[in-house]
Chain A
Amino acid sequence: MARPDTKLDFQTEWQYAPAPETTDHVRIDPQYGLYIGGEFVAPRSGEYFDTINPAKEKKLARIAKADRGDVDRAVKAARRAYENVWSKMKPAERGKYLYRIARTLLERAREFSAIESLDGGKPIRESRDVDIPLAAAHFFYYAGWADKLEYAFPGRRAAPLGVAGQIIPWNFPLLMAAWKIAPALACGNTVVLKPAETTPLTALKLAELMRDVDLPPGVVNIVTGAGETGAALVEHPDVDKIAFTGSTEVGRIIQRALAGTRKHYTLELGGKAANIIFADAAIDQAVEGIVNGIFFNQGHVCCAGSRLFVQEAIAETVIARLKDRMETLIVGDPLDKNTDIGAINSAAQLEKIEEYLRIGKAEGAEVYQSSARLPESGFFCRPTIFTGVSQSNRVVQEEIFGPVLSIQTFRTFQEALDKANNTPYGLSGGVWTDKGAKIFKMTRALRAGVVWANTFNKFDPSSPFGGYKESGMGREGGLHGLSAYVELH
């Protein structure tokens, strides 16, 4: 198929003027304590760590490091709040607090968006249009469930579990906090939340917000720190439930650590999603879907469409158009409203991605990167594709968690399906075709918890999310997300 000469040259003829989001409305304290029992307190150890802006490599604030004793304080506060206040409150009143959080979050959405981009490196366009509005929507959605749980579990009575320990990643810091806190509180549990060490700020701003809306002290506690803080939370004997989002590797450690305890747990782990393009797909839309699937949030997405499968007949066309489209992607300042791909979250993550680029090349894959100009400081990575790879390549099998796509071709439906399912992961998948029957045949056969047909990377509070196989267990979001926070009698 001839390559249409529709390529737009954004690099020379079309220059975008800078469109930076202002930050004069943003308040970031120089230092944050731990949020325990409704107030910010100093860590017992007196130790703090820095959280930085990955786009500038500059310090944003000092963050308290919670040790085992601090975690114990937080769990005790959560237990007290559970026993004395939250479990005794009328469900409808619990719901009203969640509504307050949702509404106030929207009032402060602009500030939260800017901080999310400053602390995590994601483009302001995504923080503003996806992360923060979805977080607010999540609270709003679960607020309404608080007094309606008897309709969610036919024939059973749902009771809260108690104190939930929640550990969240750095790729969607506030959104993941909302995914965890909202259903937990709606079901009558109290919470100790540990944000990721590179992105604690929006969770701490959420703590301020919860204080401002008079959420009873201790109902939500936030302990900052790294892996050790998380381990202390997982191992704490008075925690009734662990909810974790992160890597499969850590998920395994947590599942082992919880063996033999009475603790409930849900795990949202890694992924290596197949995105399958059939020859009869609408190609331009599919190319947009590929871009959104892998380059959304710098590819720091557990459900990213990181394995592309294109039917042979259109492979050349799709790859050519994808390369053209990649050229138009602006990599740069996360706070610029024109930016498509922001900063890689941390130096460590950038190193991991670059290691995979080396591995891919060493394995014989052909690499293509856009010619995007990168800022001089900060952690950045050009959008990258690997072609000439096979199923056994590490860049095809392992989660890279960056803007790196591997591309394979297929001839038949069955070949696409077999390759797509040939992975220990099973979080998400995508299929592109104009044939309805083929869509349903493929979406049914893919062993994955979320399947996007003719779209990719869509999220909604009412839509359950979670994996098959080694991508984790349990669901977050929707009616099914309630199960993670109740015991049925």
Chain B
Amino acid sequence: MAARGRKKGTGNVARSADSASRGNGGERVAVAKTYKLYIDGRFPRSESGRYYRLERQPPGKASSRNGGELIANPCRASRKDFRDAVVAARTALTGWSSSNAYLRGQVVYRAAEMLEGRREQFVEELVLQGVPRAAAADEVRASIDRLVYYAGWADKYQQVFSSVNPVSTPHFNFSVLEPMGVVAIVAPESSGLLGLVSNIAPAVAGGNTCVVLASQTLPLSAVSFAEVLQASDFPGGVVNILTGLREELLDQFASHMDVNAVVLCEGDADAARKTQQLAADNIKRVVLRPAAAWDDAAAQSPYHIGDTQEVKTTWHPIGG
């Protein structure tokens, strides 16, 4: 721990609850939490051994890397971590994409249940990262409700968006939605929990697996959300969450040849252009989700599930 350079006396989220009692004789010392990556259902540190400093900011201002009191040392994921996560996501895809829709709905719903039970932890963590308490409480509530929303869609969007096609020849012909595959998601910078959940949920409810880059300035909720996922019967590898520097990893997310789609949230014009250019290497689908009010009703939609779905059409003759 000392190697990480954590300043003595600064409390991280796990310590803060007990901080008032620290130093008094006989009182216990709080146990600090190590924020790690989430790859293939496990919580490794970055293979690179690197971290970045996350520092406390005045309430209402997002935490940053410089100038404040240290609150955590999130992993600074490397390209190799990303590649490992893609392998995990690709491996998990066969099982998850062919699991039945009812099951996927229940697993996503289970995540809502787990999050509900940990509301206080998530509120505290958001507050620690500079989100005002009332807003933090709203964000956690909205995140739970968003999971419930997409849990409900898991076994319905196919019926809304599929079709039986009245072809002129004697064939039975139908079109259904299938997941695109491995989706790389650059989560919103502005919303550490709700923005993250709003982009993971439609992808996985639709049978994709994903690799997610958490908000760089609000990363702690993402790591804790990984714990929620792990406790929710999500098979390892279905959701993989990295923390790190967006400018360092964006190119990898866009260019990796075994990623089928990239979702770029709150990217500026340069990031959007770069992503599109690199995505062309393997004709990756690019979904741009600009800065949004993630708590708005418009931020949830079955069309967001459709963004990472392919249409498959099947023909069979009708005859003896």
Q: For residue B313, which residues in chain A have a CB less than 8 angstroms away from its CB?
A: 449-451, 463-465, 478
Tell whether, in the assembled complex, residue B173 and residue A460 are in contact, meaning their CB atoms are under 8 Å apart: yes
Tell whether, in the assembled complex, residue A479 and residue B163 are in contact, meaning their CB atoms are under 8 Å apart: yes
Assembled-state Cα–Cα distance A479/B311 (Å): 11
* Contact A449 to B311, CB < 8 A, known contacts A252-B280, A473-B283: yes
Tell whether, in the assembled complex, residue B317 and residue A455 are in contact, meaning their CB atoms are under 8 Å apart: yes
Assembled-state Cα–Cα distance A248/B280 (Å): 10
Contact with A along B268-285 (1 / 0, CB 8 A): 010011111101111101
- Residue A94 at the B interface, CB < 8 A? no
Tell whether, in the assembled complex, residue A480 and residue B163 are in contact, meaning their CB atoms are under 8 Å apart: yes
Question: Which of A253, A260, A458 makes the CB contact (< 8 A) with B171?
Answer: A458
- Residue A256 at the B interface, CB < 8 A? yes
Tell whether, in the assembled complex, residue B280 and residue A255 are in contact, meaning their CB atoms are under 8 Å apart: yes
- Residue B16 at the A interface, CB < 8 A? no
Tell whether, in the assembled complex, residue B269 and residue A260 are in contact, meaning their CB atoms are under 8 Å apart: yes
- Residue B315 at the A interface, CB < 8 A? yes
Tell whether, in the assembled complex, residue A466 and residue B311 are in contact, meaning their CB atoms are under 8 Å apart: yes
Contact with A along B291-315 (1 / 0, CB 8 A): 0000000000111000000111111
B residues 160-188 with Cβ under 8 Å of A? Answer: 160, 163, 165-169, 171, 173, 175, 178, 180-181
Count the A residues whose beta carbon is within 8 Å of the partner chain — how many?
46
- Residue B64 at the A interface, CB < 8 A? no
> Chain A nearest CB: distance from B206 CB in Å?
15
- Residue A49 at the B interface, CB < 8 A? no
Tell whether, in the assembled complex, residue A480 and residue B175 are in contact, meaning their CB atoms are under 8 Å apart: yes
Residue of B nearest to A156 (CB): B303
Question: Which of A260, A463, A466 makes the CB contact (< 8 A) with B276?
Answer: A260
Assembled-state Cα–Cα distance A149/B147 (Å): 30
- Residue A472 at the B interface, CB < 8 A? yes
Tell whether, in the assembled complex, residue A137 and residue B303 are in contact, meaning their CB atoms are under 8 Å apart: no
Contact with B along A343-384 (1 / 0, CB 8 A): 000000000000000000000000000000000000000000
Residue of A nearest to B164 (CB): A462
Tell whether, in the assembled complex, residue A443 and residue B163 are in contact, meaning their CB atoms are under 8 Å apart: no
> Chain B nearest CB: distance from A178 CB in Å?
15
Assembled-state Cα–Cα distance A460/B172 (Å): 12
- Residue A46 at the B interface, CB < 8 A? no
- Residue B316 at the A interface, CB < 8 A? yes
Assembled-state Cα–Cα distance A455/B310 (Å): 22
B residues 187-213 with Cβ under 8 Å of A? Answer: none
A residues 149-178 with Cβ under 8 Å of B? Answer: 154-156
Tell whether, in the assembled complex, residue B163 and residue A260 are in contact, meaning their CB atoms are under 8 Å apart: no
* Contact A443 to B310, CB < 8 A, known contacts A255-B283, A488-B303: no
- Residue B260 at the A interface, CB < 8 A? yes
Residue of B nearest to A285 (CB): B317
Assembled-state Cα–Cα distance A443/B174 (Å): 12
Q: For residue B165, which residues in chain A have a CB less than 8 angstroms away from its CB?
A: 460, 462-464, 478-479
Contact with B along A451-482 (1 / 0, CB 8 A): 11111001010111110111111010011100
Q: For residue B316, which residues in chain A have a CB less than 8 angstroms away from its CB?
A: 439, 453-455
Assembled-state Cα–Cα distance A180/B285 (Å): 21
Assembled-state Cα–Cα distance A261/B126 (Å): 36
Tell whether, in the assembled complex, residue B277 and residue A259 are in contact, meaning their CB atoms are under 8 Å apart: yes
Assembled-state Cα–Cα distance A252/B316 (Å): 33
B residues 111-169 with Cβ under 8 Å of A? Answer: 160, 163, 165-169
Tell whether, in the assembled complex, residue A478 and residue B175 are in contact, meaning their CB atoms are under 8 Å apart: yes
Assembled-state Cα–Cα distance A351/B279 (Å): 32
Q: For residue A222, which residues in chain B have a CB less than 8 angstroms away from its CB?
A: none
Q: For residue B277, which residues in chain A have a CB less than 8 angstroms away from its CB?
A: 256, 259-260
Q: For residue A444, which residues in chain B have a CB less than 8 angstroms away from its CB?
A: 98, 178
Tell whether, in the assembled complex, residue A443 and residue B276 are in contact, meaning their CB atoms are under 8 Å apart: no
- Residue A258 at the B interface, CB < 8 A? yes
Tell whether, in the assembled complex, residue A449 and residue B163 are in contact, meaning their CB atoms are under 8 Å apart: no
Q: For residue A424, which residues in chain B have a CB less than 8 angstroms away from its CB?
A: 282
A residues 417-467 with Cβ under 8 Å of B? Answer: 424, 439, 443-444, 447-455, 458, 460, 462-466
Q: For residue A466, which residues in chain B have a CB less than 8 angstroms away from its CB?
A: 311
- Residue A267 at the B interface, CB < 8 A? yes
* Contact A458 to B314, CB < 8 A, known contacts A255-B283, A267-B283: no
Q: For residue B163, which residues in chain A have a CB less than 8 angstroms away from its CB?
A: 464, 478-480
> Chain B nearest CB: distance from A247 CB in Å?
11
- Residue A181 at the B interface, CB < 8 A? no
Assembled-state Cα–Cα distance A480/B98 (Å): 23
Tell whether, in the assembled complex, residue A469 and residue B167 are in contact, meaning their CB atoms are under 8 Å apart: no
Assembled-state Cα–Cα distance A259/B169 (Å): 40
Assembled-state Cα–Cα distance A449/B169 (Å): 20
> Chain B nearest CB: distance from A480 CB in Å?
5
Tell whether, in the assembled complex, residue A480 and residue B276 are in contact, meaning their CB atoms are under 8 Å apart: no
Q: For residue B281, which residues in chain A have a CB less than 8 angstroms away from its CB?
A: 252
> Chain B nearest CB: distance from A179 CB in Å?
14
Residue of B nearest to A258 (CB): B276
Residue of A nearest to B168 (CB): A460
* Contact A448 to B312, CB < 8 A, known contacts A463-B173, A472-B283, A478-B165: yes
Residue of B nearest to A424 (CB): B282
- Residue A269 at the B interface, CB < 8 A? yes
Residue of A nearest to B176 (CB): A444
> Chain B nearest CB: distance from A431 CB in Å?
10
Q: For residue A37, which residues in chain B have a CB less than 8 angstroms away from its CB?
A: none
Question: Which of B166, B171, B311 makes the CB contact (< 8 A) with A480?
Answer: B311
Assembled-state Cα–Cα distance A439/B98 (Å): 16
Q: For residue B276, which residues in chain A have a CB less than 8 angstroms away from its CB?
A: 255-256, 258-260
Q: Which of B276, B283, B301, B314 has the most CB of A within 10 A?
A: B283
Question: Which of A460, A462, A468 makes the CB contact (< 8 A) with B310?
Answer: A468
- Residue A251 at the B interface, CB < 8 A? yes
Q: For residue B280, which residues in chain A have a CB less than 8 angstroms away from its CB?
A: 252-253, 255-256, 259
Tell whether, in the assembled complex, residue B312 and residue A469 are in contact, meaning their CB atoms are under 8 Å apart: no
Q: For residue A470, which residues in chain B have a CB less than 8 angstroms away from its CB?
A: 282-283
> Chain B nearest CB: distance from A474 CB in Å?
9
> Chain B nearest CB: distance from A203 CB in Å?
24
> Chain A nearest CB: distance from B138 CB in Å?
25
Q: For residue A258, which residues in chain B have a CB less than 8 angstroms away from its CB?
A: 276
Contact with A along B73-101 (1 / 0, CB 8 A): 00000000000000000000000001000
> Chain A nearest CB: distance from B210 CB in Å?
17
* Contact A462 to B167, CB < 8 A, known contacts A248-B283, A255-B283, A259-B276: yes
The 14 listed contacts between A and B (C-beta, < 8 Å) are A253-B280, A260-B269, A260-B273, A260-B277, A455-B171, A458-B167, A460-B173, A462-B167, A464-B163, A464-B175, A468-B310, A473-B285, A478-B165, A478-B175
Listed from nearest, the 9 A-B pairs whose CB atoms lie closest are: A260-B273, A259-B276, A255-B280, A460-B167, A259-B277, A462-B165, A453-B316, A470-B283, A256-B280
Chain B: residues with CB nearer than 8 A to chain A?
98, 160, 163, 165-169, 171, 173, 175, 178, 180-181, 260, 269, 272-277, 279-283, 285, 301-303, 310-317
- Give 9 new A-B contacts, CB below 8 A, not counting A444-B178, A455-B316, A468-B310: A137-B168, A259-B275, A260-B272, A450-B314, A460-B168, A460-B173, A463-B173, A464-B165, A479-B175
